[in-house]
Amino acid sequence: MIYNDHCAECHGPELAGALGASLIDPAFKARWGGRPVSDLRDWIYSNMPPNAPGTLPDAQLDPILAWVLMKNGVAPGPTPLSKANAGAVFPKE
Ligand code: HEC
C-alpha cells in the first residue's frame, strides 16, 4: 500500500501518529474539518513526506488522501478522489 510505503513510518500504520502527528485525532479534525479536501490535498503535496515535499504524484497522493479520509469516517463517493473533485468539504464532526 502506498500509504505504508510513504507515510506509515512517521504517522503509524493506523494513522494514529508516531514520529509524525496523528491523522485521525480531534486536533486533525479541528484543523481540517469544514474546509475543502483540496486544502488538505495541497498541504500534503507541499509538505509531505518531509524529506521530499512536492514529489508525490497524483496517482499516489489521491489514494493516500482517500485512505486518510476513510480512516476519518468519510464515506467514499461514487467517483475516485482526484484533484478535480477534491473541492468537497471535509465534514466537521
Ligand atoms: C519522516 C516522517 C514523516 C513522513 C514520512 C510523513 N510525515 Fe506527515 N508529518 C510529519 C510530521 C513531523 C508532521 C507534523 C509537522 C507539521 O505539521 O508540519 C506531519 C504532519 C502531517 C500532516 C498534518 C497533520 C495535522 O494535524 O494537520 C499530514 C496531513 C501529513 N503529515 C500527512 C502525511 C502523508 C499523507 C504522508 C505520506 C505521503 C506523510 N505525512 C509522511 C512527519 C512525516
* Angle (CA) 72 76 80, round 5°: 125
48 falls within a domain? yes
90/32: higher pLDDT = 32
pTM, full prediction: 0.93
| Number of the ligand 1 atom closest to the C-alpha atom of 40 | 29
Q: Report whether 19 contacts 9 (CB < 8 A).
A: yes
Which residues sit with their C-beta closer than 6 Å to ligand 1?
A: 6-7, 9-11, 19-21, 23, 27-28, 31, 44, 47-50, 56, 64
Predicted confidence (pLDDT) at residue 89 exceeds the cutoff of 90: no
- Tally the domains of the chain: 1
**74 vs 57: CA distance, rounded Å:** 23
> From atom 7 of ligand 1, which residue's Cα is the shortest distance away?
49
Predicted confidence (pLDDT) at residue 62 exceeds the cutoff of 80: yes
46 falls within a domain? yes
Confidence at residue 46, expressed as pLDDT on a 0 to 100 scale: 98
Predicted confidence (pLDDT) at residue 88 exceeds the cutoff of 80: yes
**3 state DSSP class of 89:** strand
Predicted confidence (pLDDT) at residue 3 exceeds the cutoff of 70: yes
